[in-house]
Amino acid sequence: MGVDRVKVTVGVCGGIAAYKAVEVVRQLQDAGFDPHVVMTRAAEEFIRPLTFAAITGHKVVSTLWSEDAGASGGEMSGIEHINEAQTTAALVVVPATADAVAKFAHGLADDFLSTMYLATTAPVIVAPAMNVVMWEHPAVQANLAALRERGVRIVEPGSGYLACGMVGGGRLAEESEVVAAVGEVLSKAPEEKELSGETVLVTAGGTREPIDPVRFIGNRSSGKMGYAIAAAARRRGARVILVSAPSAVKAPAGCEMVQVVTADEMHAAVMQRLGEASIVVMAAAVSDYRVTEVAEQKLRREGPRTLELQPTTDILREAVQRRRAGTLVIGFAAETEDVLANGRAKLERKGADALVVNDVSGTETGFDAECNAGSFLTSESAVTLPKMAKTEMAERILDEVVRLRVRREHGVRA
């Protein structure tokens, strides 16, 4: 390999998709990288180390112990994993099994790959692949969420026919997507954050409109999606203002929190801070109506009762109208039928730059669920966001926001 090539370590785990790592290595070479391969013992059951050695021209490492252990006094090649960890520009794990993800998340180190993961300060890219039921298991999603919080780049698996015969999520991402992720991560200087200098205003949670001192009109929003977007924007270097209705979700570190309860309070908070924002993401579920006259005392059960409602202020539309020049406004829409059609109608009606539309008619995605699914709509395009953890969807949404920003800066409408 040429001396100018950047070293990248490819960790291969024991899954049926291990054979696809060969193509990842080839494409990394084509992209100008110098791939070195580390395999788990289980990976060797699917593909032989000789294959990678022949392609890369480098020794393939699969054990913490030297091959001549015993003959040389049982010397452990423990220094090797430290050297590998310190000399690589990035560690990309493909395929990453549920076992590997769990080891990384919990700091276990019982083989070369997991030990190297703990020893490296280089960027880590993980491309999971597993059975759909395993992929959707709360333990796996929690482990992935922990890795994301630590800055690990997750290359989301696709959906389709799986080796086990099932159809669904968990299928390894395309090899080109994995290589592209490596390129994106290494194209930035370590200190560079793509949202540095931006102020992102995020709304989250579900507002509550009082009926009397103890009752209110509300909705099922947990705030998880908005909080995930706020945390992701903060990790990308943005100053984040989070205007939150009541939520049980832990406040993201480093965000400026503004607590509100009603739609009117959220409207006031957003308008007060709108001038500071370069990006606005309206993920809150804001009540469309409030009670005209709130009872001063608790209402007693005295037969049928009629409540007069009146519309609340349209915060999204007003934010679009009152934003400063150049500020992007991203809305959200929760729909139960004709999702894309209703989403496009709302996008046009509100005048937002983009709209994330979600189908909340089921129980596996949407309100109060750990996962979400939907589409990122602009005036000329629709990007499908398949079922995934809300933490991952937050990253995908911000990816689209960044792309939208670039297109707008170059005068391209989309």
Which residues, including other chains, have CB under 8 Å from residue 291's CB and lie 6 or more apart?
A: 209, 210, 211, 217, 307, 308, 309
Please, which pLDDT band fits residue 185 given cuts at 50, 70 and 90? Answer: confident
| pLDDT of 135 over the 70 cut | yes
Looking at 3.30.465.10, 1.10.1040.10, 3.40.50.150, 3.40.50.1950, the CATH number of the domain 6-186 comes to: 3.40.50.1950
The whole-number pLDDT of residue 78 equals 47
CA 95, CA 131: separation in Å to the nearest integer?
A: 12
> Beta strand 199-204 with 33-39: parallel, antiparallel or unpaired?
unpaired
| pLDDT of 8 over the 60 cut | yes
Residue 349: CB atoms within 10 Å? 12
pTM: 0.61
DSSP state of 334: E
CATH no. of 199-291+302-409: 3.40.50.10300
Find the largest Cα–Cα distance for the chain. 90
Please, which pLDDT band fits residue 67 given cuts at 50, 70 and 90? Answer: low
- Which residues participate in catalysis according to the annotation? 164
Asked if the domains 6-186 and 199-291+302-409 are classified in one and the same CATH topology, the answer is yes
Indicate the domain borders of the chain. Answer: 6-186, 199-291+302-409
pLDDT tens-place string over residues 68-125: 443 333 334 445 657 788 889 999 999 999 999 999 999 999 999 999 999 998 999 9
Count H helices and E strands in the chain, helices first.
Answer: 13, 19
pLDDT tens-place string over residues 330-373: 999 988 888 899 999 999 999 999 999 988 877 777 676 778 88
Please, which pLDDT band fits residue 160 given cuts at 50, 70 and 90? Answer: low
- Count of residues in the chain: 414
Give the C-alpha distances (Å, rounded to integers) separating 119 from 92, 97, 302. 14, 20, 68
Amino acid at 243: V
Q: Which of 37-46, 117-126, 216-225, 401-410 has the lowest mean pLDDT?
A: 401-410
Radius of gyration of the chain (CA): 25
Higher pLDDT, 286 or 84: 286
Residue 368: CB atoms within 10 Å? 14
pLDDT tens-place string over residues 289-299: 999 999 999 99
The whole-number pLDDT of residue 262 equals 98
